[in-house]
Amino acid sequence: MSTASLVTIVIVVLVVLLVLLVLAIGYVLWQRRTARLRERFGPEYSRTVEESGGRRKAEADLREREKRHDRLELRPVSDEAARRYRADWDAIQRRFVDEPGGAVEEADVLVVRIMRDRGYPVDDFDQRADDVSVDHPEVAQHYRAAHGVAVEHQHGKAGTEQLRGAVTSYRSLVDALLEDGAGGQRRQ
């Protein structure tokens, strides 16, 4: 075997090893990105994978949500606005006793008002839910469910227990939006 043949073999082996190394690094980075998205989005990650029909498309969607969220100019609500929203929420809960459906409708409107005040775009429900899922993935699931009940109620198809669950879900979202939107103040 000539020296030129040995050099060629060594070069081919080195190129193959380099390609394998690049593939291994790419795989590790991909796994880390997937793990980061799973950790950040929790149950929203699984929902998005199921809804989009695959992990690759879901992860692209979740990364796009993050980019969109980063472009938003979110701001905390003022202390006065937070107190007003809490008072509005208390009135919604009292109304639930006599008018569960009306309370759910009001809760849906209140969430939109708070989100608008915080700087979220509010024109499209799906976009609102996606935007809020970046900071509050667990609550986003509840928001989708509660909004679904509100829509069912408008068509006369929601029962009292569904309405009760919706109010509970809306409360989770109201609390989350006000807690991180009013200097971390927590409801007493």
In a domain, 168, yes or no: yes
Does one domain contain both 101 and 32? no
> Which pLDDT score is estimated for 184?
38
Backbone angles phi, psi at 2, to 5 degrees: -85, 165
Say what the pLDDT of residue 181 is. Answer: 54
Give the position of tokens 């976009």: 127
Quick one: 61 and 95 in the same domain?
no
What is the model's pLDDT at position 135?
Answer: 92
The token duo for 28 is 């590790």
Q: Domain of residue 159: give its range.
A: 79-179
Structurally, the chain folds into a number of domains equal to 2
**C-alpha span between 96 and 141 (Å, rounded):** 22
Indicate if 109 and 35 belong to the same structural domain. Answer: no
Helix (H) or strand (E) holding 133: helix 125-135
Whether 62 and 89 map to the same domain: the answer is no
Kindly list the averaged pLDDT for each block of 10 residues, start to end, along the chain of length 188: 86 94 91 91 93 93 95 94 97 96 96 96 95 93 95 92 96 92 40
Q: What is the greatest pairwise CA distance in the chain?
A: 94
What pLDDT is stored for residue 86 in this prediction? Answer: 97
> What DSSP string describes 3-35?
HHHHHHHHHHHHHHHHHHHHHHHHHHHHHHHHH
pLDDT value at residue 1: 75
**Judgement on whether residues 58 and 36 belong to the same structural domain of the protein:** yes
> For the whole prediction, is pTM greater than 0.75?
yes
Q: Which of 49, 71, 93 is the last residue in one of the domains?
A: 71
Instruction: Check residue 150 and give its pLDDT.
Output: 95
**Which residues contact residue 188 at a Cβ distance below 8 angstroms, ignoring those fewer than 6 apart?**
none
